[in-house]
Amino acid sequence: MTPPLFRDWLARKLPGGSSVESLGLIAGDASPRQYFRLVFRAAAESLPQTRIGVVSPASEKNDEFIAVRALLESVAIRVPKLYALDLEQGFLMLEDLGDTLLLSVLNDNTRDEWYRRGMEVLLKQVAIQPSTTSLPEYSRSLLQQELDLFPAWFLQKLLGYEGTGINTAFAALSSCLLKNAQEQPQVVVHRDFHSRNLMCVDSDQLGVIDFQDAVIGPVTYDAVSLLKDCYIHWPRQVQCEWLARFQQELEKQGTIAPVDPRVFVKWYDLMGIQRHLKVLGIFARLALRDAKPGYLEDLPLVLAYLEDALRRYSQSDAALGQFQACFEDKILPLCRRQSWYRTVVLEAATP
């Protein structure tokens, strides 16, 4: 149901003489925000137009959303135009970028072109000088808070794990992952740059949404979000080809100094372990606390990414090897008992 106060506010913010034809709730995201599509007809216009109205509680980083939107727009990244806002009430009126998520158009024939465009967006983003922004750092404490979602929500609350046998291994793994994140060049990071937060606009552009959590952080973070997407999978060889081109362009534009490609791939893989541990915790929390059980269906792919990365480095790094053993012996058996569990084969593209 549309709050009457919000509906009246939207009507007042339209061009003079416009008439509202409809206002309907549309699918939202994982947050408490509500999104509405406003259909209106401007004076002397024969065709209706649309805009997006957002009711966003103060908890949802509205100030940050406004600031990051302007930052991305300043470097020609396609973001929704801002037509009106009332921060006190948490009301926003934005451009309607449509309903076509990148996820919905991806297949083996389209992926290379769309991922090329995605990398072009990232290259614009990371070219922003961190010192010119007011974005917070992706600090050790924030990275650790995210990692801690895994034992708290995924292991204990979702799987019912009550032991302490993984504590030492998890602490060592956390230290390894934090070191990996902080030794990388630090750039502007969207922090959730994936196929459900990228919109296909005008058939050939990528629009970016859900950017209010942006930080200054590791250069591979958004590449992990995009290439090891929690909602669709591409073969390892394809990921590495895209990643190599991304590294080449980063070096070419001077965002990072030349680095051994093997080091860059390891940065990427270990950053993926951090992100996927966090995501397992977040998806479990969304299901259990926020009554959004649909996210459980995405857990098997995230687990498969985690299992694959741990196995790749378990022989060369003691902390990764120790945690990989705990993962195989104690965590996966609990996962296999869950109704949402399924085996995911990573070398085949997911439709």
**CATH 3.90.1200.10 boundaries in the chain:** 102-335
Whose CA is closest to 280, among 154, 166, 174? 154
Flag residues of the chain having pLDDT under 50: 349-351
Q: Which two tokens stand for residue 148?
A: 């801690």
CATH 3.90.1200.10 corresponds to the domain 102-335 = yes
Whose CA is closest to 224, among 173, 170, 177? 177
pLDDT at 348: 52
pLDDT at 351: 41
Q: What is the pLDDT of residues 298-333, one digit of tens each?
A: 999 999 999 999 999 999 999 999 999 999 999 999
**CATH 3.30.200.20 boundaries in the chain:** 4-95
**pTM of full prediction above 0.85:** yes
pLDDT at 138: 97
pLDDT at 294: 95
Whose CA is closest to 96, among 12, 10, 1, 19? 10
pLDDT at 44: 73
pLDDT at 120: 97
Q: Which CATH number fits domain 4-95: 3.10.310.10, 1.10.1670.10, 3.30.200.20, 3.30.390.50?
A: 3.30.200.20
Whole-number Å distance between alpha carbons of 224 and 246: 12
What are the angstrom distances between the C-alpha of 245 and each of 5, 238, 300?
A: 50, 11, 28
Contact 282, 154 (CB under 8 A): no
